[in-house]
Amino acid sequence: MTNLAISVSNLTKIFADNKAVDTLNLEVKEGEIMALLGPNGAGKSTTIRVLSTLSGFDEGEIHIGGIDIDRDPETVRRTIGVVAQQTGVEYFMTGRENMMVQGRLYKMKKADILKRIDELAKYFELDKSIDRLVTTYSGGMRRKLDIATALIHRPKILYLDEPTLGLDIHSRKLLWKYIEELNKKFGLTILLTTHYLEEADGLSHRVAIINEGKIQISGTPDELKNNIHGDSVVISFDDVTDKEKAYAEGMKQGGQVIDTLWDGNNLHLYVDNGASSVPPIMEQAAKDDIHVKTLSLARPTLDDVFLKYTGTSMLDTGEEEAEEWWHQWAGKDGGKNWKGNKWVEADGTQKGEWEESDDWQGNDWVNADGSSKEAATTEETQEGESADWQGNEWVNKDGEQKGDWGDSKDWKGNDWVDTDGKPKEDWNGSEQQVASDDSNVTDDSQNESAETTDKTEPASDDTANWQDKEGESADWQGNDWVDANGKPKGNWDK
Amino acid sequence: MLSDTWHLFNKYMTITMRMPLWSLFTLIQPLLWLIIFAQLFGNFVQTGEGNYMDYMVPGILIMTVLFGSSWSGVSLLREISAGSVDKMLVAPVSRVAIVLSRVMHSAIQVIAQTLIILAVAWGMGSTITFNPLYLFMGLSIVFLLGIGFASLSNGFAITLQREEPLVMIGNLMTLPLMFVSSAFVPVEFMPKWIQYIAMVNPISYAVEGVRAIMTTPQDIMLFAKDFGIIAVFAIASLAWAVSAFKALRD
């Protein structure tokens, strides 16, 4: 048997029409902490799901602890512990009950499970809360319980999918400590995914950068960082003279720095190892009788790493995760059967709708705003308000009606009376109706009534009528648009 | 598989027992129907020799089954998105047990609810049998129907993969199916086309079977026939749900 805990060769997993994982190769040695580092949608979670037997795959070969995952998934399941992104713990059970059920699913004996629960609870410092309902747990505690349940059957290999996602800094650091100790004390092999550079850096022995379903590069954190840019030491001077320039040139010639770059009075020195290169840099400066005003040391960011190995900034590769779970739930056949199609269909239509409504909003906003903006420049306050109002109007159509109505307070009072006068009669129809409408409004919404009492009478009538006619908004809007703008009326008809 | 089912079933029961109010809520509607229908239709629906109350109670029992079990799939979807299904699946657990434990849990819950409905019906003067054997036989149909509809709901949950259409189907499974069955109105009162629907509607048979065994005089032969039909329905639904679940996974 090899001493490889996980060996993945040419793994490909296809969802619908895109390759979530594309000929991925990965090796994790026994007793190692390996981090899969990449942005959302890079294929991290999919890889973990495939390696946990939760998803099938289209091509490739996977051995976990020397066992072919395709031939004997049951044995693989006994070998691994999995902590998924969502904490799958039951909220209406106690910590102990959660662990008990999980232990039972691994066919463990009750006494053995109880012993193991005590061990794990103690280890994760959950012993005081183990008999409390999970609803009372904090996010960090839930995460710890989740990891503890995954360890109930004493697995040799532990997968952690974004273990610290959504945790505060303190809980995150605490969790890192536990993970590190699990590895050191118990020799657990750990494969974790993350998009935090510090997590990959501080916690893991080796890091594999994954993007678009492929491992771009892997190595120890130091190797990767040295490969990337090196650090940059930035020195700023009061003034740049020939002396400083000579110093910079000397540093480069002398081989202490890889490259130099001037940025005003700041000198960027690229070095392999920032911390250890600062003393010689300062010594040289002292020798050359140069006064250094400030010195700062910048370490490569995740984005730098990414830029180097993927050619794109990590910020551009983000992908919405909202519905990813169904994505991941597609079966072994990936996108080749109805599941895939179904998913695409659902997603496709949804996206379509969104885009349409976006465009539509976009156009509309441009129209409404554009015309009103011109006006707004001539008469700032009043027309500005009416611009807002048009804005709100559109938003209304999208469904956020009431809140926005409430917001355009000034408008109801001033704008109406100012711009219109006449139209008021148009909509009111009859005076009696107005009165009854007014009372309706008072009943309906407190805000509204509070407001109407502040205003002058005609204004309040308007508001009332307005509110009431929301149901028949077509007519009313029609009138209104004609009054205020003329043009946008066309939009409404659309 | 059986031990997996048992442990998972236990888990669901534990959770349910922590929130007993929830299962009580689903009782409200059948209870309301029981009271309203008895008053409303009692005066003009002729049901042969027995009173309408006795005719209707089996219908209400079956209605409770539908309301109780047709939403089982919704919670499956929630569990999937919450990650607890994955938590089970990473363990070497029987895939059949996951579905089976869910529908068993749903059916048991429904049995508890029907017992409460029965108690209320007796309180309202129904002459439904007290004979424990007959009650047990009647409840066995209730149980099987619960399994059947919970399976359908779970199966649809997996096939549709979304909550909204699932809720729609849940609605469609409950009320309309009730009214195109002999639950509240004897078949003879129905227009011809509804009679045809009622004939292929499993609810008709469930109601008929419960009525045959729970109201005196008992009709064992009729009960046996209906029991058989419902059993087939339950097993077929369950098999479909399990195969949908497996197909999704592997």
- The whole-chain average pLDDT of chain B stands at 86
Higher pLDDT, A360 or A29: A29
What number is the average pLDDT over the span A137-145?
Answer: 89
Q: Is the pLDDT of residue A8 over 70?
A: yes
Give the pLDDT confidence score for residue B14 in this predicted structure: 86
Q: For residue A62, give the nearest of A74, A73, A70, A54 by alpha carbon.
A: A70
Q: Is the pLDDT of residue A340 over 60?
A: no
Q: Please judge whether B84 and A89 are an interchain contact, meaning their C-beta atoms are less than 8 angstroms apart.
A: yes
Confidence category of residue A402, pLDDT binned at 50, 70, 90: very low
Q: For residue B245, give the nearest of B153, B145, B159 by alpha carbon.
A: B159
Give the pLDDT confidence score for residue A453 in this predicted structure: 38
What number is the average pLDDT over the span A344-359?
Answer: 35
A67 beta partners: A64
A384 sits in the region (left: phi over 0; alpha: psi -120 to 50; else beta) called: alpha
Q: Is the pLDDT of residue A423 over 80?
A: no
Q: For residue A232, give the nearest of A259, A193, A271, A188 by alpha carbon.
A: A271
Give the pLDDT confidence score for residue A489 in this predicted structure: 39
Q: Which amino acid is at B127?
A: T
Residue A383: strand, helix, or coil: helix
Would you state the structure tokens that stand for residue A18, as one six-digit string? 């895109």
Rg (CA), chain B: 18
Q: In whole angstroms, what separates CA B223 from the centre of its chain? A: 17
> Hey, is the C-beta of A135 within 8 angstroms of any chain B C-beta?
no
For chain A, the farthest-separated pair of C-alpha atoms sits apart, in whole angstroms, at 94
> Hey, is the C-beta of B19 within 8 angstroms of any chain A C-beta?
yes
Give the pLDDT confidence score for residue A148 in this predicted structure: 92
Assess contact for A194 and A200: CB atoms under 8 A: yes
What number is the average pLDDT over the span A322-350?
Answer: 37
Q: Please judge whether B7 and A101 are an interchain contact, meaning their C-beta atoms are less than 8 angstroms apart.
A: yes
- The whole-chain average pLDDT of chain A stands at 68
Cα–Cα distance, B147 to A7 (Å, whole number): 43
Q: Is the pLDDT of residue A463 over 80?
A: no
Task: Work out the burial of residue A275: count CB atoms within 10 Å of its CB; fewer than 13 is exposed, 13-18 middle, 19 or more buried.
Answer: exposed
Cα–Cα distance, A456 to B244 (Å, whole number): 66
Q: Please judge whether A77 and B80 are an interchain contact, meaning their C-beta atoms are less than 8 angstroms apart.
A: no
Confidence category of residue A388, pLDDT binned at 50, 70, 90: very low
pLDDT in tens, B88-102: 888 898 888 999 999
Higher pLDDT, A34 or A55: A34
Q: Please judge whether B91 and A343 are an interchain contact, meaning their C-beta atoms are less than 8 angstroms apart.
A: no
Cα–Cα distance, A241 to A267 (Å, whole number): 12
Would you state the structure tokens that stand for residue A194, as one six-digit string? 């993350």
Cα–Cα distance, B62 to B71 (Å, whole number): 15
Could you tell me the CA-to-CA distances from A244 to A266, A279, A288 in Å, in that order?
Answer: 10, 17, 9
> Hey, is the C-beta of B84 within 8 angstroms of any chain A C-beta?
yes
Give the pLDDT confidence score for residue A302 in this predicted structure: 55
Lowest mean pLDDT among A117-131, A345-359, B4-18, B40-54: A345-359
Please provide the DSSP assignment of A278-332 as one string. HHHHHHHHHHTT----EEEEEPPPHHHHHHHHHSS-GGGS----TTHHHHHH--T
Q: Is the pLDDT of residue A472 over 80?
A: no
> Hey, is the C-beta of B78 within 8 angstroms of any chain A C-beta?
no
Spans of chain B, pLDDT less than 70: 23, 42-50, 249-250
pLDDT in tens, A269-314: 778 777 788 888 888 888 888 888 888 887 665 555 665 676 555 5
Give the pLDDT confidence score for residue A109 in this predicted structure: 92
Confidence category of residue A228, pLDDT binned at 50, 70, 90: low
Q: Is the pLDDT of residue A69 over 60?
A: yes
What number is the average pLDDT over the span A43-59?
Answer: 88
Residue A458: strand, helix, or coil: helix
Would you state the structure tokens that stand for residue B143, as one six-digit string? 């149980």
Could you tell me the CA-to-CA distances from A490 to A392, A420, A478, A482 in Å, in that order?
Answer: 18, 20, 9, 10
Give the pLDDT confidence score for residue A407 in this predicted structure: 38
Q: Please judge whether A86 and B83 are an interchain contact, meaning their C-beta atoms are less than 8 angstroms apart.
A: yes
Give the pLDDT confidence score for residue B49 in this predicted structure: 57
Lowest mean pLDDT among A270-284, A338-352, A413-427, B72-86: A338-352
Q: Please judge whether A88 and B4 are an interchain contact, meaning their C-beta atoms are less than 8 angstroms apart.
A: no
Strand order in A231-236's β-sheet?
A: A259-263, A266-271, A231-236, A294-298
Q: In whole angstroms, what separates CA A214 from the centre of its chain? A: 21
Cα–Cα distance, A157 to A159 (Å, whole number): 7
Positive or negative: CA dihedral A37, A43, A46, A50: negative
Please provide the DSSP assignment of chain B as one string. -HHHHHHHHHHHHHHHHH-HHHHHHHHHHHHHHHHHHHHHHTTT---TTS-HHHHHHHHHHHHHHHHHHTTHHHHHHHHHHHTHHHHHHTSS--HHHHHHHHHHHHHHHHHHHHHHHHHHHHHTT------HHHHHHHHHHHHHHHHHHHHHHHHHHHHH--HHHHHHHHHHHHHHHHHTTTTSS-GGGS-HHHHHHHHH-HHHHHHHHHHHHHSSSP-HHHHHHHHHHHHHHHHHHHHHHHHHHHHHH-
> Hey, is the C-beta of B11 within 8 angstroms of any chain A C-beta?
yes
Cα–Cα distance, A115 to A110 (Å, whole number): 9
Residue A125 DSSP code = T
pLDDT in tens, A146-204: 999 999 999 999 999 988 888 888 888 888 999 999 999 888 999 999 877 778 888 88
Q: Which of B2, B4, B87, B158 to mutate to test the interface with A (most CBs of A within 10 A)?
A: B87
Helix (H) or strand (E) holding A419: none
Q: Please judge whether B84 and A88 are an interchain contact, meaning their C-beta atoms are less than 8 angstroms apart.
A: yes
> Hey, is the C-beta of A78 within 8 angstroms of any chain B C-beta?
yes
Confidence category of residue A111, pLDDT binned at 50, 70, 90: very high
The Cα of B163 is separated from the nearest Cα of chain A by a number of Å equal to 12
